[in-house]
Amino acid sequence: PCPPLSPPPSAPLQDIRNTVGNIPMEWYQDFPHIGYDLEGKRIYKPIRNKDELDMFLEKMENPDYWRTVQDKMTGADIKLTDEQVDLVHRLQKGQFGDVHFNPYEPAVDFFTHEVMIHPVTNRPVDKRSFIPSLIEKEKVSKLVHAIKMGWIKPRKPKDDTPTYYDLWAHEDPNSILGRHKMHVPAPKMKLPGHEESYNPPPEYLLSEEEKLAWEQQEPAERKLNFVPQQYRCLRAVPAYSRFIHERFERCLDLYLCPRQRKMRVNVDPEDLIPKLPKPRDLQPFPTTQALVYRGHTSLVRCISISPSGQWLVSGSDDCTVRFWEVCTARCMKTLPVGGVVKSVAWNPNPTICLVAICVEQSVLLVNPCLGDKLLYGATDQLLESYVAPEEERVQPVQWVTATMEEHGKGVRLVVQHSKAVKQVTWHGKGDYFASVVSDNSNMQVLIHQTSKRWSQNPFRKSKGLVQCVLFHPIRPYFFVATQRYVRVYNLLKQELTKKLMTNCKWVSSMAIHPGGDNVICGSYDSKLAWFDLDLSTRPYQLLRHHKKALRGVAFHKHYPLFASGSDDGTVIVCHGMVYNDLLQNPLLVPVKVLKGHVLTLDLGILDVLFHPTQPWVFSSGADGTVRLYT
Amino acid sequence: AVTRRLCILKGIYPHEPKHKKKVNKGSTAARTFYLLKDIKFLLHEPIVNKFREYKVFVRKLRKAYGKSEWSTVDRLKDNKPSYKLDHIVKERYPTFIDALRDLDDALSMCFLFSTFPRTGKCHVQTIQLCRRLAVEFLNYVIASRSLRKVFLSIKGIYYQAEVLGQPVTWITPYTFAHDHPTDVDYRVMATFTEFYTTLLGFVNFRLYHSLNLLYPPKIDVQADVELKPAEGKEYAMDSESYLEKLSALSASLARVVAPTHEDDVEMDEFPVEGETAEQMDARKKEQEALEKHKKLFEGLRFFLNREVPREPLAFIIRCFGGQVSWDKSLCIGATYDVSDPSITHQIVDRPRVEQQVVGRYYLQPQWVFDSVNAKLCLPMADYFPGVLLPPHLSPFVTEQEGDYIPPEKLKLLAMQRGENPDEESEEEDEEEEEEEDDNDKEEEEEEDESEKEEEMKLKKMEEQKTQSNKALPVKVTAGKLRLEDRQRVEQEQQSEEKRLAIMMMKKREKYLYKKIMFGKKRKVREANKLAAKRKAHDTAVKEEKKKSKKARRA
């Protein structure tokens, strides 16, 4: 309703009226012009290059700033005249725009309220205006008839109160639907305990820290959804502010919570424990620590025992090999070898007194000169009786006879390998032995023959990092343990017979049952796998007895015992009965946990070994001791 | 919204699918799943049509309002479609016992709604109906004397009644104005209440008839006559005063058949096969105890002071056969005055009472609650006005073996067994507690000890050996006789066997076993913690007492 602003007085001179019409002026936002004048020429937007400061200065300096507005149509600044300002004021006050308009003029009726003597129109009155309506009469008569006939009844006052009756008067079993059998009734609300009382025993009140902990917990995690409080009398108990909330939550639970029948495991924990034969009935087995062999200054990596069971050899990181008498724990001999001893192995043949020792890149064959003089003399003779073959054969290793000085210490032969040797193990007959070289090529495993001083490389290809090797005690089989598998080779046929999956991450050690049909593998992921070679290539049982990595496993020669030593400093002796009957599975029962070694450098027990005849077990540990448990 | 209401009314709840990912098209987001069968079941409900009619009605009404056709509005309002939930109640609870089992929530809800103000939140009719039904139920409980347990919690008052052999528990809020929370959807609650009122109405009807009472309840004419003079003058309109009189809970109800004999006929005994005499005896004893419990306040006349919550106390006292009255100006239905000399107990909740009348006990309200829970009238000395009250224990807790039992409960149990609660017993209790503690600790330490001992033995042996090895010419010291504790050794052996056997458990079983053992240990730990707290508190209290005594002397 606002009248268009008349152009300023100077307008007639240059009439810049915009011809674009009543359109949103934003359409011209991006153009340099703002419309077209009467002649169809563009009206350009006035140049506006005032910044904030200029605007401010103008605001402060220009006295007419307040009455300057921008014409939207032309973009020009217009100074409002006094009349226009007045108009704006009036409109703001809600008055009429025109000064001269009087809104309170006396009203003039269109028809005068005074009754005139003459009618306005001269039309005669209708007949229907003075006789009763027929249609209405008809309607009324209809209603009257309906009332007479009883079709229409007066409204009854409505009774809102619900009526109750004996709903369960006839309880028929047929009305129990199938649904009811499926129905899971909502569990009832938990009944309140002592802590909810208004005056609970003092021990149920929360202490300060408990209260703090309660406040910091998530509301869903809290064990109690309220803070227990004590009031001195019933009068002091206030209303519970979350009462409606709790009822509402219960409602939500009732109709939004999935219901499910959960079978609670209701077992007596004692029933879960398997019924095993009592260890007492499985005797003999080592039970107590009997002897400690002290002498080594560093960790004892490996031990081995003479076939007679009288002597024990141990190799340590202090670059010595010590020979002990088993029964007295006396160190009979110390042999400095000038390197870390990785493995020692006593020749299992009772007629030969020879120990193989791995020192760095060589395997030393040492005659310890202990025991029967005839015996070790015979061994020396046997070694000296070697006659070099006529033609030199190319060998992967070098056989060197010991120098005189070494000979004096007992070293007889040195088998020099190209790389460091990890392990050495004898064949049961005592002539062959195998050594494992830490290498990645096919030269990892070498088999040597002592009597002929001859070595051979059995494998053409490397199948992974070999951890340890073993000869089968009876048959011509050869076990090679890589990180995850144990391969069984037939040496006669020169073929792979079996590949055992250990289900472990990294095999550390391996031992074979004297019967030859069962193998145990210890691994660094603290598992011990028992294989029954006749049964399958997967472990018959995985035993997780130790808490830390296993480093050594051993079988007893005669008794149904096996032991495992681990980094947690314990030796666990298990009863492992293998039956001759093929149908009966081996019986594995742990019988004793032996402790004694002190953990050093996070290492516990590095090797375990059984006495060949007695039910005794030796363990060598990182604390520089060898211990005997009987 | 219609589906939601239907689900609530018909009691349909979501189900957890067996294979969540498969059902949810691969996603594992949390969603609610209903069985298709359930939804189809909902569609067959005749009430769906009523809901539709109601929708149409609302539409028509809005239109009429918009056109200002007031006569149409009146007509529409008169013919407002209504629906009944009777058949749903019957369908959900095919037998009466089923309905009783689900009564907990219904009662709690009705009691809550009956305390709502008459404005806002929900319809006035609903509130009135809830109030009526709740009062009717209370009257039934009084008439049948089936209240068993009451508990004053900080949330409200819990009641447990045994209705036809079913325990029914409900909670009522303390009588204060609610500050209505904003994050609660009252429509959901209203829908629940709609169903619950229907259910409760039918249950009430059936219950009243099972006791040969009139339904809707009428106040006994005799009692009514007695009441009349007490009222004095016209109090309110008849229709209003009816409910109020009823809710005063002071009058007995009219019976369909006039009560002939108060005492029930002796129960005939039917020896059930396979039941030994001992069991029979135990049952009989239980029955007798129950009868005795029901008549706990028989012959006692109570008077409630005005600061005491009238309704719960009147309800409880009447439930156990006591007579109760209150100030005339407090509520309708007062039967006798403060000055009545026959009053035996006056319930007071003020630190001090002026103008004590001789011949009656002044007690705090907790005495009533504790007595009901203990099933005997407790000694009143602990409950005199102004006295520090003994803790109020929850009657709903049944301690199992190994749980923590507060000493007050022990005392109470002793009292129930008939021993007189002297100070000796108190001391005994304490001693017992201590013993218990010691036992627990021992159990915990046992394992460690056994291991330690083994080590010690080994060490000793080593030492002996080394000594014998090293120093041969050493004199022989007299050997100490080692007392071989056989039991100890056996126990050790057994525990070791157990440990070895545990090693051989399968992975899953081991996990389960560890979980169970963890739970057990936690329980023991919690119990120990409570006991320790109690002990600390007791010692603190004792020291304070001593100090105050000294201060008094000095």
Contacts of B94 in chain A (CB under 8 A): 171, 175-177, 180
Which pLDDT belongs to residue B197? Answer: 92
Does residue B515 surpass a pLDDT of 70?
A: yes
Question: What is the band of A142 on the pLDDT scale with cuts at 50, 70, 90?
Answer: very high
Task: Please give the average per-residue pLDDT across B275-283, as a whole number.
Answer: 73
Does residue A184 surpass a pLDDT of 80?
A: yes
Q: Is residue A403 part of a domain?
A: yes
Task: Please give the average per-residue pLDDT across A9-34, as a whole number.
Answer: 74
Q: Structural domain tally of chain A?
A: 3
Which pLDDT belongs to residue B463? Answer: 58
Does residue B402 surpass a pLDDT of 80?
A: no
Alpha-carbon distance B464 to nearest alpha carbon in chain A (angstroms): 11
Q: Is residue A11 part of a domain?
A: no
Question: What is the band of B106 on the pLDDT scale with cuts at 50, 70, 90?
Answer: very high
Domain end (from B395, B411, B427): B395
Cβ pair A260:B16 closer than 8 A: yes
A570 and A442 inside one domain: no
Which pLDDT belongs to residue B426? Answer: 43
Task: Please give the average per-residue pLDDT across A424-442, as a whole number.
Answer: 82
Q: Which residue has the higher pLDDT, B134 or A176?
A: B134
Q: Which residue has the higher pLDDT, B170 or A622?
A: B170
Number of neighbouring beta carbons within 10 Å of residue B519: 11
We report the CATH number of the domain holding residue A365 as: 2.130.10.10
Does residue A234 surpass a pLDDT of 60?
A: yes
Does residue B32 surpass a pLDDT of 90?
A: no
- Do A295 and A312 meet the contact criterion of CB atoms below 8 Å apart? no
pLDDT digits (tens, 9 = 90+) for A348-397: 888 888 888 888 888 888 887 777 777 777 777 777 777 777 777 777 78
Does residue B215 surpass a pLDDT of 60?
A: yes
Q: Is B397 part of the contact surface with chain A (CB cutoff 8 Å)?
A: yes
Does residue A140 surpass a pLDDT of 90?
A: yes
Task: Please give the average per-residue pLDDT across A123-140, as a whole number.
Answer: 90
Best mutation target, B23, B367, B503, B537, to test chain A (most A CBs within 10 A): B503
A523 and A588 inside one domain: yes
pLDDT digits (tens, 9 = 90+) for A487-507: 888 888 888 888 888 888 888
* Per-residue CA distances from B404 to A195, A228, B143 (Å): 12, 17, 37
A373 and A453 inside one domain: yes
Alpha helices in B165-220 (DSSP H): 186-210
Cβ pair A167:B392 closer than 8 A: no
Cβ pair A202:B158 closer than 8 A: no
* DSSP conformation letters of A239-300: --TTHHHHHHHHHHHHHHS-B---------HHHHS-----GGGG-----SEEEEEE--SS-E
Flag whether the pTM goes above 0.90.
no
Number of neighbouring beta carbons within 10 Å of residue A561: 23
Task: Look at strands A421-426 and A432-437 and give their pairing.
Answer: antiparallel
Helix (H) / strand (E) element for A562: namely: strand A561-566
Contacts of B158 in chain A (CB under 8 A): 191-192
B34 and B63 inside one domain: yes
Q: Which residue has the higher pLDDT, B153 or B426?
A: B153
Dist. CA A266–CA A263, nearest whole Å: 8
- The structure tokens listed for A32 are 């340099």
B89 closest CB neighbour out of A167, A179, A291: A167
Which pLDDT belongs to residue B267? Answer: 45
A562 and A440 inside one domain: no
Q: Is residue A416 part of a domain?
A: yes
Does residue A404 surpass a pLDDT of 50?
A: yes
B125 and B206 inside one domain: yes
Question: What is the band of B249 on the pLDDT scale with cuts at 50, 70, 90?
Answer: low
- The structure tokens listed for A572 are 């666990």
Task: Please give the average per-residue pLDDT across A435-460, as a whole number.
Answer: 81
A621 and A516 inside one domain: yes
- Give me the domain span that covers residue B17: 1-84
Cβ pair B517:A272 closer than 8 A: no
Cβ pair A288:B461 closer than 8 A: yes
- Give me the domain span that covers residue A515: 507-629
B43 and B147 inside one domain: no
We report the CATH number of the domain holding residue B323 as: 3.40.50.10190
Which pLDDT belongs to residue A372? Answer: 76
A456 and A357 inside one domain: yes
Does residue B113 surpass a pLDDT of 60?
A: yes
Does residue B435 surpass a pLDDT of 60?
A: no
B49 and B110 inside one domain: no
Which pLDDT belongs to residue B382? Answer: 81
Task: Look at strands B345-347 and B361-363 and give their pairing.
Answer: parallel
- The structure tokens listed for B547 are 């100090």
Give the mean pLDDT of chain A. 82
Q: Is residue A247 part of a domain?
A: no
Which pLDDT belongs to residue B52? Answer: 92
B306 and B194 inside one domain: no
Does residue A10 surpass a pLDDT of 50?
A: no
pLDDT digits (tens, 9 = 90+) for B309-319: 888 888 888 88
Q: Is residue B90 part of a domain?
A: yes
Alpha-carbon distance B69 to nearest alpha carbon in chain A (angstroms): 19
* Per-residue CA distances from B450 to A287, B487, B492, B493, B498 (Å): 15, 13, 6, 9, 13
Q: Which residue has the higher pLDDT, B435 or A254?
A: A254
Q: Is residue A3 part of a domain?
A: no
Contacts of B530 in chain A (CB under 8 A): 203-204
Domain end (from B59, B84, B109): B84
Q: Is residue B472 part of a domain?
A: no
The winner for highest mean pLDDT among A105-114, A291-300, B100-109 is: B100-109
Q: Is residue A60 part of a domain?
A: yes
Question: What is the band of A335 on the pLDDT scale with cuts at 50, 70, 90?
Answer: confident
Cβ pair A196:B530 closer than 8 A: no
Q: Which residue has the higher pLDDT, B285 or B553?
A: B285
B65 and B111 inside one domain: no
Which pLDDT belongs to residue B56? Answer: 94
B108 and B52 inside one domain: no
Q: Is residue B59 part of a domain?
A: yes
Cβ pair A235:B155 closer than 8 A: no
* Residue of chain A minimizing CA distance to B183: A245
Domain end (from B395, B427, B448): B395
Task: Please give the average per-residue pLDDT across B98-126, as a whole number.
Answer: 86
Which pLDDT belongs to residue A145? Answer: 95
Question: What is the band of A570 on the pLDDT scale with cuts at 50, 70, 90?
Answer: confident
Q: Is residue A417 part of a domain?
A: yes
B117 and B209 inside one domain: yes
Does residue A126 surpass a pLDDT of 80?
A: yes
Which pLDDT belongs to residue A216? Answer: 87
Which pLDDT belongs to residue B247? Answer: 67
A529 and A457 inside one domain: no
A272 closest CB neighbour out of B8, B500, B505: B505
Q: Structural domain tally of chain B?
A: 4
pLDDT digits (tens, 9 = 90+) for A54-106: 888 888 888 888 888 888 777 778 888 999 999 999 999 988 888 888 888 88
Q: Is residue A525 part of a domain?
A: yes
A164 closest CB neighbour out of B33, B185, B205: B205
Cβ pair A238:B13 closer than 8 A: no
Which pLDDT belongs to residue A248? Answer: 92
* Residue of chain B minimizing CA distance to A188: B104
Which pLDDT belongs to residue A13? Answer: 46
B138 and B33 inside one domain: no
Q: Is B187 part of the contact surface with chain A (CB cutoff 8 Å)?
A: no
B194 and B100 inside one domain: yes
Q: Is residue B141 part of a domain?
A: yes
A447 and A563 inside one domain: no
Express as a percent the part of chain A with pLDDT over 70. Answer: 97
A445 and A594 inside one domain: no
Which pLDDT belongs to residue B454? Answer: 58
Cβ pair A198:B501 closer than 8 A: no
B48 and B130 inside one domain: no
B533 closest CB neighbour out of A168, A183, A203: A203
- Do A448 and A435 meet the contact criterion of CB atoms below 8 Å apart? yes
Task: Please give the average per-residue pLDDT across B348-376, as a whole number.
Answer: 84
pLDDT digits (tens, 9 = 90+) for A19-28: 888 888 888 8
Express as a percent the part of chain A with pLDDT over 90. Answer: 5
Q: Is residue B461 part of a domain?
A: no
Distance in Å from the first CA to the final CA of chain A? 116
- Do A89 and A97 meet the contact criterion of CB atoms below 8 Å apart? no
B80 and B151 inside one domain: no
Does residue B62 surpass a pLDDT of 90?
A: yes
pLDDT digits (tens, 9 = 90+) for B165-179: 889 999 999 888 888
Q: Is B63 part of the contact surface with chain A (CB cutoff 8 Å)?
A: no
